[in-house]
Structure 1
Amino acid sequence: MKFDFKEKYILENEYVKLQPLENTDFDNLLEYSENEPEIWEFNSGGANGKENLKKYIANAIKNRESEKEYPFIVFDKKSGKFVGSTRFYGIFLEMKIIEIGYTWYGKKYQGSGINKNCKYLMLEFAFDKLEMERVAFAANSKNEKSLNAMKSIGCVVEGVLRNCSTDAKGERIDSTRLSIIKTEWNENVKNNLKKQTENFTNR
């Protein structure tokens, strides 16, 4: 399967639905932008506040149009609400490498199983449809919650890039790099993550 940035990819199961982020999604995400500032503390370029949310969505769509990224908005089928966003980026199709990141959810939906379902759908799409060989991840090294979530789905820590970015306050941060490779996905990560998503109904 060839990745097409113009295609409207819908990734979904019985619990969550990922659809392309659009300008019209501003109102769907505004409550998290205005009321949950702690979501954005670990990295720069967050969507805290109305103006930053507008910039965030516009930049994400611009990067899709320039074929750099493919952003999604996340819909929780149980609550009937849009609850966050995630995307493919660092897309190197010839090398069969893709990255998943810019992931965030409203506080109420963190740790609920939504992230595991989203990651399963995205990894399945990357490995089984796009035939990627490597899917990479990264997080602020101080963001233990995010790093633990990545490890729980099967990511392997590869190392730390020192002083490589900034947080919301403009302070320099270290970034921890992680990945899953195709052999790991096929041998155990896919089945293990699938089992974890089955606990979603217990939230």
Structure 2
Amino acid sequence: MNIPTLENHFVKLSPLSLSNYKNLIDIAQEENLVQYSPSKIDTEEDLLAYVQTAIDGITQKTTIPFIVYDKSKKAYAGSTRFGLINWKNKVLHIGWTWIGNEFQGSGLNTQMKFLMLQYAFETLNFNKVEFRVDKRNVRSRKAVEKLGAKLEGILRKDTLMLDGFKRSTCCYGILKEEWTVIKSSTFSSFI
């Protein structure tokens, strides 16, 4: 599968690989960076395993992982990916997103999501993009809602966290027919 580079004036999303993931080691060690995720990335070994899992999904055509580069700060900021790609039904998830503390609240995440939504709907011609967010993660839930995603339901106690807690997951979605309106309203300054 050919993985594209997605970019605009603010951010560059390049294919995540075993040759570039080390640019994220310091960020991955930030405290509470992925506290609402069932993934562990805070050691170099854990980060390598996380990246290897993402790369393995490429060969199965179920993931497209990216490394995030903030052009204004001239620094690597984190990682994101398309996952659970269902080519037959034209549905995919955007998630596995984490960016360092210094990049949070800067608008970088919104820029990333615009590029990813645009690619999913306009290039891949998918019918739906979904987001899954820990019910407790109010900040991420608000960010996804700000993008125009609609809450479709909550999966109760569906994911086992590293500390043994069973989290509930909020399921959000954007349909292809909603994209044009969302693009012109939410992302009007990006186009």
TM range (shorter): over 0.9
1:25 maps to 2:20 = yes
CA distance in 1, matches of 2:22, 2:7: 22
Measure how far apart 1:134 and its partner are. Answer: 0.7
Measure how far apart 1:195 and its partner are. Answer: 3.1
Deviations 1:67-88 (A, max 9, x none): 2211001111111111011101
CA distance in 2, matches of 1:195, 1:109: 22
Deviations 1:55-113 (A, max 9, x none): 11111111112222110011111111110111011111121111111011001111111
Moved more, 139-148 or 22-31: 22-31
Instruction: Tell me the TM-score normalised to structure 1 length.
Output: 0.90
The structure 2 residue matched to 1:189, chosen from 182, 186, 189, is 182
Q: Which residue of 2 aligns with 1:139?
A: 133
Instruction: Tell me the TM-score normalised to structure 2 length.
Output: 0.95
Paired residue type of 2:10: Y
Q: Kindly report the root-mean-square deviation, in angstroms, between the aligned alpha carbons of the 2 structures.
A: 1.4
Measure how far apart 1:197 and its partner are. Answer: 4.7
Q: Which residue of 2 aligns with 1:154?
A: 148
Give the secondary-structure state (helix, strand or coil) at the position aligned to 1:89.
Answer: strand
Measure how far apart 1:196 and its partner are. Answer: 5.6
Percent identity between the two aligned chains: 32
CA distance in 2, matches of 1:118, 1:46: 22
Q: Which residue of 2 aligns with 1:79?
A: 73
Q: Which runs of 5+ in 2 are unaligned?
A: none
Q: Which residue of 2 aligns with 1:102?
A: 96
Runs of 4+ in structure 1 deviating by more than 4 angstroms, as ranges, are: none
Moved more, 108-117 or 164-173: 164-173
The structure 1 residue matched to 2:9, chosen from 6, 10, 14, is 14
CA distance in 1, matches of 2:149, 2:111: 15
Q: Which residue of 1 aligns with 2:166?
A: 172
Distance 1:149 1:197, change over 3 A: farther
Deviations 1:20-46 (A, max 9, x none): 100122321011122x12112112123
Q: Which has the higher helix share?
A: 1
Moved more, 142-151 or 47-56: 47-56
CA distance in 2, matches of 1:196, 1:104: 24
CA distance in 2, matches of 1:32, 1:197: 27
Q: Is the 8 A contact 1:167 1:173 kept in 2?
A: yes
1:59 maps to 2:61 = no
CA distance in 2, matches of 1:164, 1:84: 26
Paired residue type of 2:43: G
CA distance in 2, matches of 1:7, 1:68: 13
CA distance in 2, matches of 1:193, 1:22: 31
Q: Which residue of 2 aligns with 1:69?
A: 63
Q: Is the 8 A contact 1:73 1:82 kept in 2?
A: yes
CA distance in 2, matches of 1:58, 1:69: 11
Deviations 1:175-199 (A, max 9, x none): 000000011111x21112323658x
